[in-house]
Amino acid sequence: MFIKYIRCLIVACVCVCTTVVWAKHSPHSTSRSCNERLNQIMKNSDFDYSGEDYHVRIEDITGGTVIIKVYVRNNLSSDPKKPRMVESVVSWLIIQPQRDGIYQSLNALDPADPAFKKLNIDMNAFNQLVKCIDQ
């Protein structure tokens, strides 16, 4: 039941948030300091992305489950004075209600057979992130 709920939540997030056009940085409900902590944790984890520099953001917190978006930003504008930024999703991560780590969704588009990988992270930094999120 819980896996089915997470599966549906991830699929919904992927469908809605795959590509979002941003003119300016929009405010998010989670504090900036939580996202900065998350960014440091991810940069020091075993998350493997060989492309451009990536960004992370807490996208949603529902029922104790934290959904994290890993994305890259691209400027689609040919005019440097009028940037047209696009976010493209690289991966989805979750923190489950039991708060035991960060899990990477390996096949978010296949709700029938979800697969997750627990990332190797600094657990002290993770515990500080959880405190920040739960405030």
Q: In angstroms, rounded to a whole number, what is the distance separating the alpha carbons of residues 68 and 62?
A: 12
The mean pLDDT value of the chain amounts to 81
Q: Do 107 and 91 touch, CB atoms closer than 8 A? A: no
Can you give the pTM of this predicted structure?
0.72
Q: What values do phi and psi take at 130, rounded to 5?
A: -60, -45
Number of Cβ atoms within 10 Å of the Cβ of 82? 9
**Sequence spans of domains, the chain:** 2-134
pLDDT in tens, 37-91: 999 999 999 998 887 689 999 999 999 999 999 999 988 888 888 889 999 999 9
Q: In angstroms, rounded to a whole number, what is the distance separating the alpha carbons of residues 119 and 135?
A: 24
* pLDDT higher at 109 or 105: 105
